[in-house]
Structure 1
Amino acid sequence: MIARLHRKAIAASLTLALAGFATTALAGNGQAALDMGVAASTTPTHVTLVLKLHNQAQLENYIQQTVTPGTAHFQQFLTTRQFAQQYGATDAEIARVQAFLKKQGLTGQVLANHMAIQTTGTLDQFSKAFQAPIHTYVSRTSGQSFHSPASGLVLPADLANIVEHVNGLNNGTKYRSHRITAPKISGLHLAVTPTTLSKTASGNPTATGVPGQYTVGDVANLYNINPLYQRGVTGKGSTVAIVTLSNFIPADAQTYWDAIGLTTKPNRITQIHVDGGGVLDGGSGETALDVEQSGGLAPDANVLVYDAPNAGTGFTDAFLQAVSDNQADSISTSWGSPEIFNFAALNTDGASATDTSDVGDLRTFHQILLEAAVQGQSVFAASGDSGAYDTVRGLGNGTAPGDFTAPLTVDSPASDPYMTAAGGTTTPVTFSDSSGAPVLSISQESVWGWDYLLPFASKSALFAVGGGGGVSVYWREPFYQRFTRGIRRSESKQSLVFNDPQAGPTTLLTLPSHFNGRNVPDISLNADPETGYLVYSSTDNPTSFLSEGGTSFVAPQLNGISALLTQSIGHRVGFWNPQIYLLQNIFGGSHWSPFNDIRSGDNWFYAGKPGYEPGAGIGTLNVTNLDTFLHAGL
């Protein structure tokens, strides 16, 4: 008996349409890419078979106990070996998968966590193994060439309950880094007046006080980190990991730290090249800024950089390795893609997805994050830079032939319930005209959304740039958000419509209305490029520093902050979300709260207000207050 991993017709049309924009690519009906026929049979390909976890309900309960004071397993994190023994695939199950691979002339390497088997072979071998022809496709818009199965994969019945996902046969998947530069608006200038805090004894000496040229020292000033430094808390003894899809030049990070006058631990960066590693390309600046920010806020922490190709199994394999190695106390990534790119198993009436065969990447990340949580590893992901409309940067907004409408959507893997999603704010800033007269002022930290610039630029130039946030339409509301004021359900009448140049508007996916989904982000920090940061990347500009922003900065900043907290409290912080939502529910925006409530601004849909909102989440951090509560075991 053979079990077929099927796709619904709507999934085929959606995923292929997205393939034309180099975002995700699964074979389908040829709507936006040309089928060039069977791919070259000898093409070498890396494939990862993700294995299903055991006792997942028990695992989730154990995770909750690790961060709940008074429970039997509070702060009793597992090793990778313990995780494999209690929740990973059994030796017998692994043997069955390896026997299947051996029959195909393939050998598999089993990860220590017993969650994945990695193998390399030719497209012809995999096509025969999974009884699916693998074709080459060429995007009609970008010209990108990629290969992908032309039909659903077929697995032997005895493996159907063992294998969660077969990853790597589609090499068209591309994730996006979440960094961005400020728009060039004629006649509008930052009225730069360095803040006095950086010049006082209480301020950080590496800060500039200049919006758009902030450093990690300014982050310390803004979010009350300096008292930890004054106690000697610098991340000593802790390790941060960066998961990224581009290689970088490690000396760039040291150049940044030296330039701002920051003393750091020497020889602290270790690179781990996964699946052959990433390449030096346009994403290398992303990796550089991730290391600069996380390692800058925790100057004595060790830094592990897991880089992989931005295709096929790269992203999930890099995460698998970082978590299975279990060397890092905290992990961050600033890459992602709209959640709806990863699944299309929605009924046309808007009912929620239940068929996980179409959500392999989402399920894979979920299993990885469950392992990280039970091992006490804190994990952070950027929530995106397209405000409440996460597809806009990749697909457009439906106003031109060949692009798509902009439904309210969130970014993945930030949307996973076991990920801490990093959102974005705008710090106080004043703009002047060419004569120096002030014309726009933001007086308090606000949800980041560039609609505040609409008086000076067209909507088409600004929409929908802002801090990513909204409601997942796949992951249900997690336990830690159930009693939080401000949690929202998904909006009605949200559809992804392709503006087909020939056929006209074509509805590809109708999203579920009023879905009780996971809300993102969780925590935000300054991310607006207008109030952004200096970064150095010799691959982008070898002669000078760049000024950038985006939630790409926030995820590694939280990573570095977590490293400081790890040293301060003497052990791993563990899964942040249950702990921070409990504190929010108890203390709200009071004077002693570890959070600064964000009550103004918006991300083009969700506005800042008291309590939680899917614009800035709980709010920003008061790190010293958070450290105090963690010390108290709350």
Structure 2
Amino acid sequence: MFAKLQRKSLPLSLGLLLAGLSTGAIAANASPAIDAGAAPAAQNVQVTLVLKLRNQTALEDYIRQTVTPGSAHYQQFLTTSQFAQQFGPSSSDLARVQAYLQKQGLSSDVLPSHLVVRASGTTAQINALFSTSIHNYVSRQDGRHFHKPAGAVQIPSAIADVVDVASGLSNELHYRPHHVASPQFAALNAQHPQISALNSSGSGGSGGNSTASGLPGQYTVGDVANFYDINPLYQRGVVGRGSTVAIVTLSNFYPADATAYWSHIHLTTKPNRITQVHVDGGGAIDGGSGETSIDVEQSGGVAPYADILVYDAPNAGNGYVDAFAQAVSDNIADSISTSWGLPEIFSFAALNVDGASNTDTSDAGDLRAFHSIFLEAAVQGQSLFAAAGDSGAYDTVRDLGAGTAVGDYTAPLSVDSPASDPYITAAGGTTTPYKYAFGTGPTEAIKQESVWGWDYIQNYFDTYIGQGVVNLFSSGGGGGVSVYWHTPFYQAFTDGVRRSETKQSLVYNDPSAGPTTLLKLPGHFAGRNVPDISLNADPETGYIYISTADGGLNSGEGGTSFVAPQLNGITALLRQSTGHRIGLWNPQVYAIQNIFGYGRYTPFNSVRAGDNWFYDGQPRYNPGAGIGTLDVANLDVFLRSGF
């Protein structure tokens, strides 16, 4: 089987680096950016300082109590000011940081959480502050201009005891939206006449929701309600009233697209409920705008009377960190989702710091920055969701591109960030039952909900169309084992949780100089497993959405970027039903699953079939689909009863 051939670190012809690639070592060893010299001394640079938490162990214990029935602080979530007073830096430390920045000529502002200080200054001031030299660069791949430090960055000793992370000194990093389109198969018709359009059928409309289509590739939020037993909540009048969801995104969008989508499927919603918050000037209307439309349409469609906040920021520098920090510090949203990410390993020192060992997996990116912000969200009762990625068990494949323009890379088993953080719920993907046929091949079927991985289509093509006609590796639901974050407490007793595999390396096969090992990943690492919860994400059993930036009405769309906002909307329903914020999902859903397992009256359905090119579906937790899929009505009963 083709899927079984992918069980090791697999060499691929990846070549053309996309804009998402940010790692210095890869750029240096593959097709380096052109160093355009030192950035002008007067050029403005934005930097975000994430300060160190006080009493982090106590904070983690408090978070655990907020979601553990019977604990002293069960459902006693903190306000932003309470978080600042108990776990943020002291007022004196905060004042010391600001005074130091002012002395260096930088302006700054502090978020109410006291966790984040956003500063602005000239290149000369930033260089002096961090003992580095910021240079301008031009990408050899796409001609894009960016700046980043040419040498190591050092936190000034005067504030190093307070400052944990400096984010934004480089604006090279571009995150990727996690949605995938299906129409590539139709486009293959012209090149390969033996491939006909996909013929499919499904049963999405059988659950009684009038807004459902019942058609794979044209599913709506009504089909989601049918699949995952949400309709009983609607029948009780639970539609998200009194709840607020937030979207953290890196592209602006047209709010009218969301209202057009809800109108198109004849869904009645609360009017005038979308509020945009443009962070750091806001994101652009660009190729990622459709992602923002999807997130708003899905979350707001599942919870049609919830208010929606959209925090959009530039897809560069400190934009992503700032957007999350603002959404959490504002503390208006009861739940927050994001559908953007990059491979976790792209933050490692081995790929970013000149002279670092290729075994150095310390954080040189924003992993710690996100983590502190997510801890704040958890103690405030804000539920967080992130798409787990759409490259199966090999998260780097989409971000390293395809082709042979700059050589071959191996594809190590890897996971996506920020979904890999233990304090966010990682949203994985499945394929719901449907029938398919191509060309003269027979009709086949996915008979039970399965881990999403397009190796099932690859196998079909290879068998009935011909070897090598298409290469679908490794499209599928993201999942695997973090090699940075250790196994969290809520997964410690979960059957099926895995350790990292051995002999996983990111190697660049230079056509002239030969192989260069850029990063060796640790084997047998007891890491955080992702995803946590999965829902339908395969574009072949995908959805419609409306985006002016993408040409209007689109069909045959999927990816875990649909799942994260759907879970966001589900949380808004649960918030209305229970009368309180739900808080961090992970400790609660793992506890329920570990104690009650799977069955007719439990909140979870195991995903026993399919794979994401490495991890197979199992009748237990698996890194292809996590705990499994939801029965939302049953989950609501458990949460209302305090399980």
**TM-score by structure 1 length?**
0.93
Residues 162 and 562 of structure 1, relative CA distance in 2, 3 Å threshold: same
Shift of 1:402: 2.9
Instruction: Measure, in 2, the Cα distance between the counterparts of 1:134 and 1:27.
Output: 17
Is 1:274 the counterpart of 2:279? The answer is yes
The alignment status of 1:556 with 2:565, answered yes or no, reads yes
Residue equivalent to 2:36 = 36
User: Match of 2:450, as an amino acid?
Assistant: S
Q: Describe the superposition over 1:238-261 as per-residue Cα deviations: whole angstroms up to 9, x where unpaired.
A: 000000000000000000000000
Write out aligned runs for 1:9-408 (5 A): 21-26=19-24, 30-31=28-29, 32-182=32-182, 183-184=184-185, 186=189, 187-193=195-201, 195=203, 198=205, 203-344=208-349, 353=361, 355-356=362-363, 358=364, 360-396=365-401, 401-408=406-413
- Determine which of 425, 432, 442 is the counterpart of 1:427: 432
Residue identity opposite 1:198 in structure 2: G
> Which of 117-126 and 280-289 deviates more?
117-126
Instruction: Check conservation: 2:481, 2:527, Cα contact below 8 A.
Output: yes
Does the Cα contact within 8 Å between 2:19 and 2:174 map onto a contact in 1? no
Following superposition, the deviation at residue 198 of structure 1 comes to 2.6
Cα displacement (A) at 1:580: 0.3
C-alpha distance 398-540 of structure 1, shift in aligned 2 (>3 A): closer
Distance 1:459 1:60 in 2: 51
CA distance in 1, matches of 2:540, 2:116: 42
Q: Which amino acid aligns with 1:217?
A: G
Counterpart secondary structure, 1:156: coil
Q: Which runs of 5+ in 1 are unaligned?
A: 1-16
Deviation, 1:320, is: 0.1
Structure of higher RCO (CA pairs closer than 8 Å, 6+ residues apart): 2
| AA of the residue aligned to 1:144 | R
The residue aligned with 2:628 is 619
Q: How many residues of Structure 1 are paired with residues of Structure 2 in the alignment?
A: 610
Aligned mate of 1:567, from 553, 566, 576: 576
Partner SS for 1:539? helix
- Residue 25 of structure 1 contacts residue 148 of structure 1 at CA under 8 Å; is this kept in 2? no
CA distance in 2 between counterparts of 1:37 and 1:399 reads 29
Cα deviation for residue 600 of structure 1 reads: 0.4
Contact 2:350 2:359 in 1 (8 A): no
CA contact (8 A) 1:424 1:467 kept: yes
Write the letter of the residue equivalent to 2:444: L
Cα 1:361–1:604 shift into 2, 3 Å: same
Q: Once the 2 structures are TM-superposed, how far is the Cα of residue 396 of structure 1 from its aligned partner?
A: 4.2
Q: Secondary structure at the match of 1:578?
A: helix
Residue 416 (structure 2) pairs with residue 411 (structure 1): yes
Is the Cα–Cα contact under 8 Å of residues 20 and 342 in structure 2 kept in the other structure?
no
Distance 1:145 1:28 in 2: 17
Deviations 1:597-631 (A, max 9, x none): 00000000000011000000000000001001001
1:172 aligned counterpart, secondary structure: coil
Tell me the equivalent position of 1:14. Answer: none
Cα displacement (A) at 1:398? 9.1
2:22–2:174 contact (8 Å) kept in structure 1:
yes
Cα deviation 1:97-136 (Å, max 9, x = unaligned): 1121112211210110011111222222211222211111
Is this contact kept in 1: 2:23–2:346, CA < 8 A? no
For residues 112-163 of structure 1, give each alpha carbon's deviation from its aligned partner in whole angstroms, at most 9, with x where no partner exists: 0011111222222211222211111222333322111111223332311111
Aligned partners of 2:402, 2:356: CA distance in 1, in Å?
A: 21
Residue 463 (str. 1) matches residue 461 (str. 2):
no
Could you tell me whether the CA contact under 8 Å between 1:24 and 1:172 is conserved in 2?
Answer: yes
Amino acid at match of 2:52: K
**DSSP 3-state at the match of 1:586:** helix
Closer/same/farther in 2, CA of residues 19 and 52 from structure 1, 3 Å limit: farther
Cα-to-partner distance string for 1:156-178 (whole Å, 9 max, x where unaligned) = 32311111111111000110000
1:403 Cα deviation from its structure 2 partner: 4.2
Query: Residue 582 of structure 1 corresponds to which residue in structure 2?
Result: 591
Compared CA separation, residues 402 and 460, structure 1 to 2 (3 A): farther
AA matched with 2:474:
A
Further displaced range: 473-482 or 17-26: 17-26
Match 1:445 to one of 431, 446, 449:
449
C-alpha distance in 1 between matches for 2:162 and 2:379: 21
Residues 528-537 or 340-349, more deviating: 340-349
| Deviation of 1:27 (Å) | 8.2
Contact 2:337–2:568 at 8 Å: present in 1 too? yes
CA displacement 1:561-600 (0-9 Å, x = unmatched) = 0000000000001100000001111121222220110000
Q: 2:237 is aligned with what amino acid?
A: G
Q: Which segment drifts farther, 120-129 or 231-240?
A: 120-129
CA shift digits 1:184-216 (9 cap, x unpaired): 154344434453x636xx510000000000000
Matches of 2:346 and 2:199, distance apart in 1: 40
**Partners of 2:217 and 2:555 within 8 A in 1:** no
CA contact (8 A) 1:599 1:609 kept: yes
Inter-partner Cα distance in structure 1 for 2:58 and 2:437:
57
Question: How many Å separate the matches in 2 of 1:564 and 1:35?
Answer: 51
CA contact (8 A) 1:430 1:438 kept: no
Q: Per-residue displacement from partner, 1:40-99 (whole Å, max 9, x unpaired)?
A: 222222211111111000000000000001110000000000000001011111111112
Q: Deviations over 1:494-541 (max 9, x none)?
A: 000112233221100000000000000000000000000001001110
Q: Distance in 1 between matches of 2:524 and 2:405?
A: 29
Contact 1:382–1:554 (Cα < 8 Å) also in 2: yes
Q: Is 1:494 matched with 2:504?
A: yes
Shift of 1:327: 0.2
Hey, what's the Cα distance between the residues in 2 that align with 1:614 and 1:459?
Answer: 29
> Secondary structure of the residue that 1:461 maps to in structure 2?
coil
What corresponds to 2:526 in structure 1? 516
CA distance in 2, matches of 1:548, 1:29: 31
- Of stretches 28-37 and 595-604 in structure 1, the one that deviates more from structure 2 is 28-37
Question: What is the alpha-carbon distance in structure 2 between the residues aligned to residue 19 and residue 131 of structure 1?
Answer: 30
2:515 alignment partner in structure 1: 505
Report the alpha carbon displacement of residue 39 of structure 1 after superposing the two structures with TM: 1.3
Deviation at 1:397, TM superposition (A): 7.3
Separation in 2 of the partners of 1:192 and 1:242?
32
* Contact 2:17–2:141, Cα closer than 8 Å, also in 1: no
Counterpart Cα distance in 1 of 2:391 and 2:403: 15
Matched-pair contact (CA < 8 Å) for 1:242–1:332: yes
Instruction: State the Cα RMSD in Å.
Output: 2.1
Secondary structure of 2:158's counterpart equals helix
Q: Decide whether the 8 Å contact of 1:495 with 1:509 is kept in 2.
A: yes
Q: CA deviation at 1:294?
A: 0.1
Q: 1:392 to 1:459 in 2, by over 3 A?
A: farther
The answer on whether the counterparts of 1:54 and 1:87 sit within 8 Å (CA) in structure 2 is yes
Contact persistence 1:177–1:335 (CA under 8 A):
yes
